[in-house]
Amino acid sequence: MKICVLGGDGYCGWATALYLSKKGHSVSVVDNFMRRQWDHELGVQTLTPIQPLSDRLKVWREITGETIELFVGDVTDHDFLASTIETFQPDAVIHFAEQRAAPYSMIDRKHAVFTQVNNVVGTLNLLFALKELAPDCHLIKLGTMGEYGTPNIDIEEGYITIEHNGRKDVLPYPKQPGSFYHLSKVHDSHNMMFACKIWKLRATDLNQGVVYGTVTNEVELDEALVNRFDYDEVFGTVLNRFCAQAATGHPLTVYGSGGQTRGFLDIRDTVRCIEIACLNPAAPGECRVFNQFTEQFSVLELAHMVQTAARKMGLIVDIDHLPDPRVEAEEHYYNAKHSKLIDLGLSPHYLSDSLLDSLMNIAIKYRDRVDPSLFLPQVQWRNARNERRQALSSAAAVSLTEGAF
């Protein structure tokens, strides 16, 4: 298939592009390197030393003989996006090209507005480009499990049958997102459902859980292909952060009681889920939703698992309960369905001891690159404005002081 990966230089996008290329698909990557720009803005770096995209693609070609075509530009620039779709004529477009960090969207008004405009306009542009230039192309869009929030009933996959006052209908599952970022994905989902209805587009909305891990069969072919491993308080996902903390002897930072339960998955399952969606396209006019995760954990459970894995390696790590910077239930019911991708053939990589060991090993391998001042949450949901740079300086100062004793 001809598959276009929007945001193919990012964490999930890069792993996906290589996986699909290896599987023999004709893959193109669209990226504007904004994800790298945000690292500069925030003063953070991925734990793993990722290479420039041009180098990555060159090494990929040398090793595998496969060429991944590159289109450099911004999906919010409709002329660019439309010309890319027209040139490449994809059978499927995988849309990862959004701002994906909840804390980033909560820094202040400008970051909230940027996140929503960037994500919503990019997706609107894509919907219009597909309608006009590739109406049979299958849109595979990354949503998030965070769109649902934590309702007190089971979470279904996108839609729910509601019986009410003696009548019945199947309706979009009610959404209670927990950040301006998560809200942007809810907006996208509504826009997509409508576009599929009026224009008979084909779409799959993948409500993905929290992804962990960095190694896939493809990226481990060469050090130059290494994928991101974000551990900072803004872009770092929780399991990666815990591993980086354990590897450097810092306490694991659990927000509140740690009873927050979410869906998680291995990045090797992310790439396989995308392939499954490609190979089983939605019907014209269909906007289907898959919940893309494999296991549920509470944050405290994960902390204990990392603590145990670290102890095996001789690392004694504490668990710190910090005041929750987010506004969220710290204890709640959570039971989210996730059978549709399994039904289509996903064989999950569950979070085993051996995987945790390998995650810890990566964190240990690169631990000299860790900046511990990035562990502590500096973006508070209850503030309209987080002076992150000031907080960063004072946190660094504290850390230095502590280090002196």
The residues carrying an active-site annotation are 144, 181, 185
Residue number with CB closer to its own copies (152 or 354): 152
Q: How far is the CB of 120 from its own copies (least distance, A)?
A: 6
Residue number with CB closer to its own copies (145 or 274): 145
Question: Under the rule (CB under 8 A), what is the footprint of its own copies?
Answer: 78, 109, 112-113, 116-117, 120-121, 124-125, 128, 131-132, 151-154, 160, 162-165, 167-169, 171-180, 183, 186-187, 190-191, 193-194, 197-199, 327, 333, 381-382, 384-385
CA 4 – CA 158 distance, rounded (Å): 24
Please name the residues in contact with 361: beta carbons below 8 A apart, sequence gap of 6 or more.
none
Q: How far is the CB of 180 from its own copies (least distance, A)?
A: 7
CA 146 – CA 177 distance, rounded (Å): 6
Half-sphere exposure of 71 (CA within 13 A, CB side): 25
Q: How far is the CB of 196 from its own copies (least distance, A)?
A: 11
Tell me which residue of 5, 22, 23 sits closest to 14, measured CA to CA.
5
Phi, psi of 178 (to 5 degrees): -110, 15
Residue number with CB closer to its own copies (22 or 131): 131
258: left (phi over 0), alpha (psi -120 to 50) or beta: left
CA 34 – CA 111 distance, rounded (Å): 14
Q: How far is the CB of 185 from its own copies (least distance, A)?
A: 10
Residue number with CB closer to its own copies (131 or 321): 131
Amino acid occupying residue 247: A
Tell me which residue of 51, 97, 39 sits closest to 73, measured CA to CA.
97
CA 266 – CA 348 distance, rounded (Å): 8
Tell me which residue of 295, 274, 289 sits closest to 340, measured CA to CA.
289
Written as six digits, the tokens of 277 are 């969606």
Q: How far is the CB of 100 from its own copies (least distance, A)?
A: 18
Residue number with CB closer to its own copies (126 or 247): 126
Amino acid occupying residue 296: Q
Residue number with CB closer to its own copies (77 or 371): 77
Residue number with CB closer to its own copies (225 or 379): 379
Q: Which segments of 313-375 does DSSP mark as H helices, in order?
A: 340-343, 353-365
In the chain, how long is the greatest CA-to-CA distance?
69
Q: How far is the CB of 297 from its own copies (least distance, A)?
A: 21
Residue number with CB closer to its own copies (248 or 378): 378
Place of tokens 């597909």: 130
Please name the residues in contact with 185: beta carbons below 8 A apart, sequence gap of 6 or more.
98, 119, 143, 144, 146, 147, 177
Q: How far is the CB of 161 from its own copies (least distance, A)?
A: 8
Q: How far is the CB of 258 from its own copies (least distance, A)?
A: 20
Would you say the C-alpha torsion 160, 161, 164, 167 has a positive or negative sign?
positive
* Whether the Cβ atoms of residue 355 and residue 349 lie closer than 8 Å to each other: yes
CA 341 – CA 294 distance, rounded (Å): 10
Query: What is the DSSP secondary structure assignment for residue 336, as one 8-state letter?
Result: B
